[in-house]
Structure formats: structure tokens, C-alpha cells
Structure 1
């Protein structure tokens, strides 16, 4: 890999979240590091799970974490490559607070020739009091040279 960054989550997020389901949800870039990305899911009443309850539905949080995980994988690989979600486990710890945006932070902690592994959490302002934890496996699609991927 070169010393220059090829994949910039801050620049890529507006394009990747401007259409489809992510666009409808209004996902926004929040922050990133070398192997992690954090996105924001703004709170909206139409994302509530049940009438009469001010609890954000689980589906938007799953979508938030899936997109954050994909971005974390591309950041860790330092390039965009087609991937597919094989398994994404979400363990909900508590409901998100009424009116609060939810932040999803995912870290890509291992990349092999054919797969990438992520872990992370969703929170509504305090990462020490998470809404959910995630663990996932994504399949890399295409013929990436394993010499280009750290740890492959």
C-alpha cells in the first residue's frame, strides 16, 4: 500500500448516503480513524418503532451500523472494493433516548484475503452507555491482491 490515503470516509459518505435507504435515513458523517468510522442517524418521528412509543425502531440502527461497518472496512483497506454483509449481529442494550441522534461507530479489526471483521457500538451521545453492540463479517468481492491488505 502507498503512504497516501486513497479512501476518505469524510469525502465518500455524502455520496454513499445520498441515495437509497441510507439517503432516506439521512445518515451523516461524524468522525473516523485509521480503522473505524462513526456515522450519525438523526432522530425523526417517522423512525419510531411503535405508535405511542418514542423508541427508535431497530431497523434504522441496523442500517446505520451496516453502513458504518462498510466505511470502516474501506478505510482499513484504504480503498473502495465491493463487499457484502455476510453476518451482522446487533445486540440491543437499551432504547435510544427520545429525540436524540444515534451515532454508530464501527471498527474493522481484521482483514483476510476474502473477509473483513468488524465490531462496534451505537450510542446516543455517551459511548460508555451504548444503545447496541455489533459484531459482523463481510465478504470481499473481487480479486484484491492479498499483499495489499495488512494481515491478509
Structure 2
């Protein structure tokens, strides 16, 4: 069984990713929060709540909430791995569901970049639950590098915490 050891936190990256998540309506609605961010990647948490249940008979979380968590974690890891901030939209996302998330428990996602080119960033992500650590889904994704200038200055000022 996989053990998810705690990562060391980098406060600069943690702040940037937290402000980025706060700018996304779906993350605010789902309650997604950053638990750790550093140059290696990041970890997010999706707390269990009744409004993300996909099967009311069993209490299992809807797959769309898990996919959103993993896409956001993967995209957030791009903010952590690049030397300078830039916007990188999702090009492709493949999720393999291993098992339903256990009802009533928080789901975490750990993502990291494994290859960065001048135009594409490649990521891997795993969604899991703790105690005992159990994989819920795995994901690979690609993100297109479009540069910092593709977003307005006010957006970067918010992400960098200047306003």
C-alpha cells in the first residue's frame, strides 16, 4: 500500500497556488484547498460534502469532482515547476479511476511535472484517501505554455499577492 509522506512546503509557491485556486469558482464551490506546494509539485484536498455526492444511495463522490480536483492539481503543479509564472491551459487529461472514494472521507491529489518543453508541460497526478492510504484515481495531463503575456497584469498581481 502506498504511503504518502508529508512534503516540505515552500511558502512562496503555496501562496501563489492558494491565490490561483481562490480565483477559480469551481475550487471555491468544492472547497478545494492547497495542503502543500513546492518546486516538486503540490498536494490539494477535496473535503467530503453532501453536495459533491454522485450516488445518494452510497454517498460516493461524483467522478466530476475527482476529475476537477486532479485537473486543478495538475495545473497547479505547473505553477510550481516553471521558473516564472505563466498561464498554461489544459490540452489533454486522462483519468483512470481505480475505485470509488470512500464516503465521508477527504480526497487528496498530489501532482508533479515530469517533463517541461518550450511549448508543453507534462504532469502526473494521483488522487487518494488517507488512513489507510488508498489510491482513488491516477491522471496524466498536458498543458500548453502560452506565456505570461496571455493574461492581464491584474491577474498576475493577484496570484503574486501584490494586490
Query: For this structure pair, what is the TM-score category when the shorter chain's length is used for normalisation?
Result: 0.7 to 0.9
Contact 1:85–1:137 (CA under 8 A) maintained in structure 2:
yes
Equivalent residue runs for 1:82-97 within 5 Å: 82-97=87-102
1:31 aligns with 2:36: yes
Looking at structure 2, the residues matched to 119 and 13 of structure 1 have their Cα atoms a distance apart, in angstroms, of 17
Looking at structure 1, the residues matched to 78 and 17 of structure 2 have their Cα atoms a distance apart, in angstroms, of 13
1:99 aligns with 2:127: no
Contact 2:110–2:125 (CA under 8 A) maintained in structure 1:
yes
Unpaired segments of 5 or more residues in structure 1? Answer: 1-6, 145-152
TM-score, normalised by the number of residues in structure 2: 0.78
**Counterpart position of 2:129:** 124
Contact 2:17–2:79 (CA under 8 A) maintained in structure 1:
no
Looking at structure 2, the residues matched to 94 and 143 of structure 1 have their Cα atoms a distance apart, in angstroms, of 38
1:16 deviates by 2.1
Tell me which protein shows more helix as a share of its residues: 2
Unpaired segments of 5 or more residues in structure 2? Answer: 1-10, 150-163
Q: 1:139 to 1:124 in 2, by over 3 A?
A: same
Looking at structure 2, the residues matched to 14 and 31 of structure 1 have their Cα atoms a distance apart, in angstroms, of 10
Which portions of structure 1, spanning 4 or more consecutive aligned residues, are displaced by more than 3 angstroms? none
Contact 1:40–1:102 (CA under 8 A) maintained in structure 2:
yes
Q: What root-mean-square deviation, in Å, do the aligned CA atoms of Structure 1 and Structure 2 show?
A: 2.2
